[in-house]
Amino acid sequence: MAADPRLDGTSIAPSVLDLIGNTPLVRLTRLSEVEQIPSVLAMKMETTNPGGSSKDRPALEMILAAERDGLLPPGGTIVEPTSGNTGVGLAIVAAQRGYRCVFVMTDKVAPEKVSLLQAYGAEVVVCPVAVEPDDPQSYYSVAARLTEELAAFRPNQYANPANPAAHVRTTGPELWEQTAGRITHFVAGAGTCGSLTGTARYLKSRNPDVRIIAADPEGSVFSGGSGRPYLVEGVGEDFFPAAWEPDLYDEVIAISDEESFLTARRVSEIEGILIGGSGGMAVAAAIQVAKRAGPDDIVVVFNPDSGRGYLSRVFNDEWMANYGFTRECERCVGAVLDTRAGMAELLYVNPDQTVREAIALMRANGVSQLPVCKNTPPFAAAEVSGAIDELEVMEAIAGDPGVMTMAVEKVMGPKLPTIGVGQPIERAVQMLEVAPALLVLSGGRPLAVITRTDILTYFEAAADLPADALSPEAPGA
Ligand SMILES: Cc1ncc(COP(=O)(O)O)c(C=O)c1O
């Protein structure tokens, strides 16, 4: 649309698209004091983009590029398999520029994410998560079929050069201007690598000495992991996307889920800036960098989105405690493990081991349940696929002796209920009224299995303590 002269001299933006980018940079003054950071540590606040995240930038750039390249005719359709921030960005741009948007996602996605995209007028197709990628119902297959049937444009942010280009054009120059060319370090999480690589390209073109630091969840391939699961959302990968450009990065720092989440909560509390788990991860890495940096250095950390999207997880006390990220009491499940001598490591079986092997392991260690976990320790909670129970195995073998040589995954039962290492012993007692054993999580990872016998052993040992020592709220406990 042609510029309207009535807006001349005003600061009325012609459309919401003109509000994408130019996000503020704010010093993390209180955090810097607490952490005794000698350099200047500042945060790029991507929450002030209209969609609330950094993804508005690539969404706009990818659509403008598709229009230029003739891939998206007027009134055309955009299909993308996404449930997150990129979907919001695309939906905003599509609303402004008159496109139809269809997002494909799995039924694992939280219902509010579906509602959020629908609120922008997008259509959402939900596919079952529990099917193989080549199943016609899988979300990959459905996205491919819809793209073809609707003759749609598929932005594919993981391979689209317009994604990093958005940050070369906007984020990089903004940071250069906002720091008067004095930025010395840029720290960001990486998913598609668009923000990290695009911003790095620009900053290095202005000053090759600017240090670029990627923050990465432990387990992700960017920091040398094998792509095993973690809980922080939106960052890290199990493959290298097109924009991965390691020559541009000076350092990759791996950060645990625990440190990411606790840092997000701390920043929100002490700075009054509500950030998500991936923002917490980036800040945790930036604190390390800023502590090493000199007094004249300016360290910028990229905060991609708001903590509002993570209220049911990172900011939910119950969720955090259940994964063993926080302590709810002084005398908690961890104390039961402390009284248990000589069984430090987690006993488990892999899904492809035989039932015979599982029985041998249970017998050798005098236990009646084993979690079934993929890979080798340290496990992520998501790598637990079920449990083997002595009683159930016995019944199965009685009915069919062939079960003995079968793979554990064929006969395993549901996963053991989980409890956080910092949750009250009373909660474990309640849960053990119905479950034979519990899987204890610490820092989001399985730590041990506890049973009624463990609790009784603890009570027995604690009997020598003052009577109120068994209460989780015991004063001075
Ligand atoms: C929620 C979220 N999505 C995506 C990303 C990654 O950005 P990009 O895809 O540009 O690498 C981040 C980075 O921190 C993020 O936190």
Q: Is the CB of 192 under 6 A from ligand 1?
A: yes
Which of 23, 57, 195 should be mutated for ligand 1, with most atoms under 8 A from CB? 195
Q: Is the CB of 235 under 6 A from ligand 1?
A: yes
Q: What is the pLDDT of residue 330?
A: 82
Helix (H, G, I), strand (E, B) or coil at 433: coil
DSSP E strands: which ranges in 304-436? 369-373, 384-389, 418-420
Is residue 55 flagged as an active site residue? Answer: yes
Q: What does the pLDDT average to over 81-96?
A: 94
Give the distance from CA 232 to its chain's centroid. 2
Both tokens of 1, joined, read: 């649309």
Q: Please, what is the Cα angle at 203 between 200 and 279, to 5 degrees?
A: 50
Q: Is the CB of 191 under 6 A from ligand 1?
A: yes
Q: What is the pLDDT of residue 23?
A: 98
- Cα-to-centroid distance, 191 and ligand 1 (Å): 5
Domain ranges of the chain: 14-53+163-309, 73-149, 321-470
Q: Is the CB of 85 under 6 A from ligand 1?
A: yes
Provide, rounded to the nearest whole percent, the portion of the chain with pLDDT above 70.
96
Catalytic residue among 44, 55, 113, 204: 55
Phi/psi region, residue 106 (left: phi>0; alpha: psi -120 to 50; beta: rest), is: beta
Could you report the per-residue pLDDT of 53-81, keeping only the tens digit for each?
Answer: 999 999 999 999 999 999 999 999 999 98
Q: Is the pLDDT of residue 467 over 80?
A: no
Q: What does the pLDDT average to over 213-221?
A: 97
Q: What is the pLDDT of residue 106?
A: 84
What's this model's pTM, rounded to 2 decimal places?
A: 0.93
For atom 3 of ligand 1, which residue has the closest CA? 234
Superfamily (CATH) of domain 321-470: CBS-domain (3.10.580.10)
- One-letter amino acid for residue 264 of the chain: A
For atom 4 of ligand 1, which residue has the closest CA? 234
User: Please, what is the average pLDDT of the chain?
Assistant: 94
Q: What is the pLDDT of residue 331?
A: 84
Q: What does the pLDDT average to over 278-291?
A: 98
Ligand 1, residue 189: give the atom nearest the CA.
14
Name residues whose C-beta falls within 8 Å of residue 451's C-beta, 6 or more positions apart in sequence. Answer: 367, 368, 369, 432, 436, 437, 438
Local structure of residue 48 (DSSP, 8 states) = G
CATH placement of domain 14-53+163-309 = 3.40.50.1100
Answer whether CATH 3.10.620.30 is correct for domain 73-149: no
- Cα-to-centroid distance, 203 and ligand 1 (Å): 19
- One-letter amino acid for residue 155 of the chain: P
Ligand 1, residue 278: give the atom nearest the CA.
16
Q: What is the pLDDT of residue 474?
A: 43
Q: What is the pLDDT of residue 466?
A: 58
Which of 216, 305, 313 should be mutated for ligand 1, with most atoms under 8 A from CB? 305
Q: What does the pLDDT average to over 101-113?
A: 86
For atom 16 of ligand 1, which residue has the closest CA? 278
Could you report the per-residue pLDDT of 349-394, keeping only the tens digit for each?
Answer: 999 999 999 999 999 999 999 999 999 999 999 999 999 999 999 9
Could you report the per-residue pLDDT of 419-447, keeping only the tens digit for each?
Answer: 999 999 999 999 999 999 999 999 999 99
- CATH fold match for the domains 73-149 and 321-470: no
Q: Is the CB of 277 under 6 A from ligand 1?
A: no
Map tokens 């055309």 to a residue: 76
| Cα–Cα distance measured from residue 411 to residue 387, given in angstroms and rounded to the nearest whole number | 9
Q: What does the pLDDT average to over 270-298?
A: 98
Could you report the per-residue pLDDT of 122-149, keeping only the tens digit for each?
Answer: 999 998 877 787 889 988 899 999 999 9
Local structure of residue 419 (DSSP, 8 states) = E
Cβ atoms of residues 186 and 173 within 8 Å: no
Name residues whose C-beta falls within 8 Å of residue 92's C-beta, 6 or more positions apart in sequence. Answer: 16, 17, 50, 51, 56, 59, 120
Q: Is the pLDDT of residue 252 over 90?
A: yes
- Cα-to-centroid distance, 77 and ligand 1 (Å): 25
- Cα-to-centroid distance, 363 and ligand 1 (Å): 47
Q: Is the pLDDT of residue 21 over 60?
A: yes
Find the range with the poorest average confidence among 15-29, 169-183, 228-242, 292-306: 228-242
Q: Is the pLDDT of residue 477 over 50?
A: no
Cβ atoms of residues 75 and 277 within 8 Å: no
Q: What does the pLDDT average to over 332-342?
A: 87
Q: Is the pLDDT of residue 1 over 80?
A: no
Where does residue 165 rank: exposed (0-12), middle (13-18), buried (19+ CB within 10 A)? buried
Could you report the per-residue pLDDT of 253-265, keeping only the tens digit for each?
Answer: 999 999 999 999 9
Which of 47, 55, 248 should be mutated for ligand 1, with most atoms under 8 A from CB? 55
